[in-house]
């Protein structure tokens, strides 16, 4: 007998409305929460915004290929990915697995096999909850509960502020460019909207830094982007 999914959320990235509807019915019947995206870019945006526990990804998307989605995703996330596609050739499977997929299932598929594979992936998946908490200075980020604290006090962040902080924490010590942050948090149409980024970074610093004008952790790399420093 399978164990309950414990409020796990699955993001389905597929351009076929009928497939998304079928997967939603199947997965919700098993107790999972389900989010949907019809394009690769929308799917990547949903990963940043919603932090799902698992992705079901089609390879034939209208904007990015499934391989492109996998490669971009694996630059900053370890969320488990089940590729669900009509492409059954061995080369396609190898390509997807090499790009970062955790499992591969071809269409048409059986609901029992699909849910069994998802249960197995979730049991062995390294997720953000594995990190438990990340602490730098007075700040603690609890990925499992999505709570940020400064000392003993919880800090209320907007969804955009949390998404921005999450990316910086996951890539702590590394410089993230303005374009990377804007693309992942706001979407690809906003890659030149650096004023959005400046405003949200100012708010983050005001909430998290002892002196927002002399930030200890949320560092600016002039003309390039931002970097989170733990020390």
Other C-beta atoms closer than 10 Å to the C-beta of 83 total: 27
Could you list the beta-strand ranges (E) of 130-188.
133-136, 139-142, 147-150, 153-155, 175-177
Instruction: Take residue 23 and report the two structure tokens written for it.
Output: 């997967």
SS3 at position 218: strand
Please give the mean pLDDT across all residues of the chain: 87
Report the predicted TM-score, pTM, of the whole model to 2 decimal places. Answer: 0.58
pLDDT value at position 6? 60
Domain-by-domain residue ranges, the chain? 9-126, 130-228
As a whole number, mean pLDDT of residues 73-77 equals 77
Assigned CATH class of 130-228: mainly alpha
Spatial separation of the C-alpha atoms in residues 133 and 185, rounded to whole Å: 21
pLDDT digits (tens, 9 = 90+) for 210-227: 999 999 999 998 888 899
Dist CA 86 CA 54 (whole Å) = 20
The more confident residue out of 21 and 179 is 21
Most confident range (mean pLDDT) of 5-14, 111-120, 125-134 is 111-120
> For residue 193, what are the β-bridge partners?
none
For the stretch 157-209, pLDDT in tens is: 998 999 999 889 888 888 888 888 888 788 777 878 889 899 999 999 999 99
Q: Helix, strand or coil for residue 115?
A: helix
Residue 95's DSSP bridge partners are none
Q: Which helix (H) or strand (E) holds 84?
A: strand 81-85
Give residue 231's pLDDT: 75
CATH number for 9-126: choose from 1.20.1290.10, 3.40.50.2300, 1.10.240.10, 3.40.50.300. Answer: 3.40.50.2300
Task: For residues 38-60, give the mean pLDDT.
Answer: 90
pLDDT of residue 92: 86
pLDDT higher than threshold 80 for residue 98: yes
């Amino acid at each position: 007998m399978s164990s309950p999914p414990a409020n796990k959320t699955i993001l389905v990235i597929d351009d076929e409305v009928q497939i998304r509807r079928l997967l939603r019915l199947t997965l919700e019947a098993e107790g999972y929460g389900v989010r949907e995206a019809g394009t690769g870019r929308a799917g990547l945006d949903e990963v940043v915004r919603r932090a799902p526990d698992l992705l079901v990804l089609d390879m034939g998307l209208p904007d990015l290929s499934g391989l492109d989605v996998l490669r971009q995703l694996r630059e900053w996330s370890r969320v488990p990915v089940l590729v669900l596609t009509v492409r059954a050739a061995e080369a396609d499977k190898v390509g997807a697995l090499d790009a970062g997929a955790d499992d591969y299932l071809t269409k048409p598929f059986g609901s029992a096999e699909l849910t069994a594979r998802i249960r197995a992936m979730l049991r062995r998946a390294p997720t953000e909850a594995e990190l438990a908490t990340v602490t730098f200075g007075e700040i603690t980020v609890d990925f499992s509960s999505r709570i940020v604290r400064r000392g003993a006090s919880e800090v209320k962040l907007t969804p955009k502020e949390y998404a921005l902080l999450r990316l910086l924490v996951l890539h702590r010590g590394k410089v993230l460019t303005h374009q990377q942050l804007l693309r992942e948090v706001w979407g690809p149409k906003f890659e030149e909207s650096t004023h959005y980024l400046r405003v949200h970074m100012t708010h983050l610093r005001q909430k998290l830094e002892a002196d927002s004008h002399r930030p200890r952790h949320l560092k600016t790399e002039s003309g390039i982007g931002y970097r989170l420093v733990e020390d």
